[in-house]
Each structure stands twice: as C-alpha cells, then as structure tokens.
Amino acid sequence: MKTFTYRTATDVSQGLEPGATFLAGGTNLVDLMKLGVATPDVLVDVTRLGLDEVGDRPGGGLRIGAGVRNSDLAADPRVRRDYPVLSQALLAGASGQLRNMATTAGNLLQRTRCRYFMDATMPCNKHDPGSGCPAREGDHRNLAILGASPSCVATHPSDMAVALAALDAVVRISGPAGERTVPVTELHRLPGDTPDRDTVLEHGELITAVDVPPLGFAARSAYRKVRDRASYAFAVGSIAAAAQVDDGTVTDVRLAFGAVAHKPWRAFVAEEALRGQPATRESFLTAADAELAAAEPLRDNAFKIALIRNLVASVLEGLS
C-alpha cells in the first residue's frame, strides 16, 4: 500500500486538499488501497463527524445520516415498516461483518467490481484514463447492458442505491462552496468518455445525509436480487419495486434495476408505461420491454435482458 497521512475531519464543509480522499467504513477504499487501485496521499476520516443518526423529517420521510452503518439502517423499525425495499436491499448486500462497517454514503460511493478496474496492472479507462477497456471484448458477463459507452461497460455494484433510486431519495452534500442536494438518480453518471468520474460530486464535497421522502405505497415494496451464490455475492441483476394497485389497476409504481448500468437504473419508461394499466403479468412484461428496448448487451451478458424482464413481472405480481 502506498503511504499516506491520516487525519480526522472536524467540519463537513472543510473540503479536501489535492490528492486527499474521505475515509468512512473503509470496506471498499481500504481494499482498493491494498490493490494499488486507490492511491490517496491523505486520508480524512469522517466517521467522527456525528453523521450517524436516522431522523424523522418534519413533513414525513427519513433523513439518514451519511455515516449510519448499513446494518443499523437495515434494522431501523421505520425503514422496515415504511420502506421495506430499502431494508431488503441492504440485507441482500455484503456480509454481516461488512454491513456493520459500511456506511450509507460509502455504499453509494463504492466503486465498480469490474475485474479490470480492480486490477491495477490491467488497462482500464476508469483507473487509468485513456488506457482502454479490456472488458468490452473480455470478461463482461456481469457488466452493463444499459447506458454503457465505448470507453466503459462497468456496473455500479450497490444494492442499497437501487432501492434509494426507486424511492426518489435525495443526497445532501456539503463542501467549501456551500450545500446542495442531488437526487440519487442523478448522483451517479453514465460513463461517456470520462468513466474515471463515477458521480457528479466535486473534489472535496462530502455527502452528509440521504433524505427519503414519504411514499405511502412504499410500505408495499420489495427488493429481489439474483446472484451466482445464495448469499454474499454481488448482483447479476436486481430490482427494487413499489406499487400501488387499486381495483386491479396500477395507479402508481416505482421501479429501479441494479447491476445493469454504471448507475442504479431508475426505470422511468417502464413506470410511465405501467400507470393506468391493468396489474397483469402481460402489462408488467410490456412495461419491462419498453424500458429494455434501449439495452445494448455485450457478447456474454444478453441474458440479463430476460433476467430483468422476468424479475419485473415476478416482483410486481408479488406486490399486486
């Protein structure tokens, strides 16, 4: 591991010097430092800033501190009651030990597990811009089918972020230039020709909280994850869904897909196609097809189209 200096952050808006990075749970960053993929000069520890509470918002909904550990959030009674999709997504990710360490903001900001990105000796436009993307012709079975670019076909690995994208959650950000908010659906970028940038955050900006707005029908919501092992594996494909069905008609719906793109993929097209339609398997499949019409699969991951399509139908049938 390259050497670095360590200090603790004392203020959320103090920013970062060049070459510095924030450290929270460390479950991804420390691993990437061991691998030589992340090489910060300075680590600024943000775990003592007191951002570790889940609070009720005045108008309803929750404010989740950036430093709340994944296990505490998954177990929170309000999350389990009002947003089961979020609790389920958290519990579908990682292991008991990692969830005890990993934080809300760290989970959002974790890097792709694309094998070429994780290997500092390989070309990768994400860790070494301009070096190329071996994944496009190489091992890409678990990589993107939506929104990829010639320079990068990586997927965002988070489960939690998929649920937050479906729930219209908003990220609160502090930095030297002040505070701002960004919807979770707009936090992560598509790779384009600058895949080295995962998100719209500027250097030195710190996520302080995630706001989840009230959504009555999210009390009936679910997260379903497909993976190569029964537990403790990243998704091959996943879906977060909430649906309101009245007299057999879908009156409102939230849908997001995981492990298919460089960001949690909010399925706005499918949602629009579903509103006002009968809550039948046929409608669900038609809506999934409308969203997945934009898919551009690679040689070895076209199966994800059918996988996501079937997940949409099966999870929405379960919620109807």
Residues at the contact surface with other proteins, assessed by CB under 8 A: 1, 3-6, 23, 26-27, 30-31, 34-35, 43, 45, 47, 71, 74-75, 80, 87-88, 91-92, 94-98, 100-101, 230-232
Q: How many beta carbons lie within 10 A of that of residue 136, not counting itself?
A: 17
- Closer of 39 and 249 to other proteins (Cβ): 39
- Closer of 113 and 141 to other proteins (Cβ): 113
Grouping H, G, I as helix, E, B as strand and the rest as coil, residue 123 is coil
CA distance 257 to 310: 12
Helices 303-319 + 281-292 axis angle, to 10: 140
- Shortest Cβ 87–other proteins spacing (Å): 7
Q: Where are the alpha helices (DSSP H) in 58-193?
A: 70-75, 77-82, 84-92, 96-101, 104-109, 160-166, 184-187
Give the bridge partners for 55, in sequence order. Answer: 63
CB 241 within 8 A of CB 266: no
Q: Give the H or E element holding residue 288.
A: helix 281-292
Tokens for 160?
Answer: 């939690």
- Shortest Cβ 162–other proteins spacing (Å): 15
- Shortest Cβ 175–other proteins spacing (Å): 23
Burial of 11 (0-12, 13-18, 19+ CB in 10 A): exposed
- Closer of 142 and 301 to other proteins (Cβ): 142
Tracing tokens 């994780």 back to the chain, one arrives at 118
DSSP 21: E
- Closer of 76 and 211 to other proteins (Cβ): 76
DSSP 72: H
- Closer of 58 and 96 to other proteins (Cβ): 96
- Closer of 96 and 248 to other proteins (Cβ): 96
Grouping H, G, I as helix, E, B as strand and the rest as coil, residue 133 is coil
- Shortest Cβ 69–other proteins spacing (Å): 8
- Shortest Cβ 234–other proteins spacing (Å): 11
- Shortest Cβ 26–other proteins spacing (Å): 6
